[in-house]
Amino acid sequence: MNKVNSSEFDFEKYLIETKKVVEDALDFSLSPEKPEILRESMRYSLLAGGKRIRPILCLASCSLAGGDPNFAVPTAVAIEMIHTMSLIHDDLPSMDNDDLRRGRPTNHKVYGDAIAILAGDALLTRAFEMVSLRSPGVSPERLLNVVGELSLVAGAPGLVGGQVVDLECEGKEVDLETLEYIHLHKTGALLKACVRTGAMIAGADTKMLEALTKYARGIGLAFQIIDDILDVTSNSEILGKTAGKDLLADKTTYPKLLGLEESKRRALSLVKNAKEAIMPWGEDAICLIALADFITNRDR
Ligand code: GRG
């Protein structure tokens, strides 16, 4: 993967090229898996496409911090594994009970609940193997920081905690503060880990990590607001997942609390704040700025 040259930056080209690096690394990452049914189930969800926004954020942050993004590829793969396992578990009948994901039947619809749960477990544990045992050329100290960051965002202080509060709120009136809590944990936490771990691989200092944390808070919430908006305004074919689900389940969402226009305004304002946090890095921040805009302009 080449370093970004800001004077001739072409975001479309960058996305296509970086996505290809990620897809190849994901494919390679599961090659020795056994037993066969587990391997199939893991590959089914991990290689089902998806925007790959999280690994791309990780690689872009490594570049921003002056590192060679190639060294962050195993961490980027690990993050996509954690994201994918969370989708597999989220789709289970005992959770969100969905049958469409990334344009195809959900994992448990194809492999059954037990294998889907175990494939998720295996992806989660493989993620930590990717960082700790399959990240050549990165110092043990930096890898330990990455492992620590990922443990925090995956567990109770992050995704799991957010999911529990989300489940507990089902069928209840939810205020904006609780909604924000859910999204900062379910969605924002992993996005924060993407940018922080990419920068950690490059040895970023506290000042940069703090700026990236601010950036991630903005894009994390904006990402979820756009997700809520698309659930209302788009369709299942474009989204690759069941549209209109929030309305059907009577879930509290940003459009429900604030209306569509105000939700969109809020997302734009959050992205503006996110971009301001990394402005001090000038042209070096060009990728992360373009990715922030991509999050609000996306249609899926
Ligand atoms: C991580 C240990 C551990 C457990 C998982 C089930 C669960 C606990 C958490 C749920 C997390 C969840 C599903 C959050 C929603 C995040 C979200 C907005 C997903 C959609 O992301 P996109 O649009 O999807 O990036 P693609 O398919 O493009 O990757």
- The whole-number pLDDT of residue 296 equals 85
Report, as an integer, the average pLDDT of 250-269.
Answer: 92
Among 45, 79, 90, residue to substitute to test ligand 1 (most atoms within 8 Å of Cβ): 90
Among 15, 45, 56, 83, residue to substitute to test ligand 1 (most atoms within 8 Å of Cβ): 83
- The whole-number pLDDT of residue 2 equals 66
Ranges 153-157, 257-261, 264-268, 294-298: which has the least confidence = 294-298
> pLDDT tens digits, residue range 48-62?
999 999 999 999 999
Query: What pTM was computed for the model?
Result: 0.96
Confidence class for position 11, pLDDT limits 50, 70, 90:
very high
In 3D, which of 216, 242, 180 has the Cα closest to residue 295? 216
Give the up-direction half-sphere exposure of residue 243: CA atoms within 13 A in the CB hemisphere: 16
Structural domains in the chain, sorted by start: 9-295 (1.10.600.10)
**Distance, CA of 174 to chain centre:** 24
Write out the two tokens for 223. Answer: 């990402």
> pLDDT tens digits, residue range 71-106?
999 999 999 999 999 999 999 999 999 999 999 999
Report, as an integer, the average pLDDT of 189-218.
Answer: 98
Distance 120 CA to ligand 1 centre (A): 12
Write out the two tokens for 30. Answer: 């599961």
Q: Which atom of ligand 1 is nearest to the CA of 89?
A: 6
C-alpha torsion angle, residues 229, 233, 235, 241 (rounded to 10)? 10
Contact predicate 67/3, CB 8 Å: no
Residues lining ligand 1, judged by CB closer than 6 Å? 50-51, 53, 82, 86-87, 89-90, 95, 102, 124, 154, 159-160, 163, 186-187, 224, 227
Distance 154 CA to ligand 1 centre (A): 11
Q: Which atom of ligand 1 is nearest to the CA of 159?
A: 9
> pLDDT tens digits, residue range 127-185?
999 999 999 999 999 999 999 999 999 999 999 999 999 999 988 989 999 999 999 99
pLDDT at 68 over 90: yes
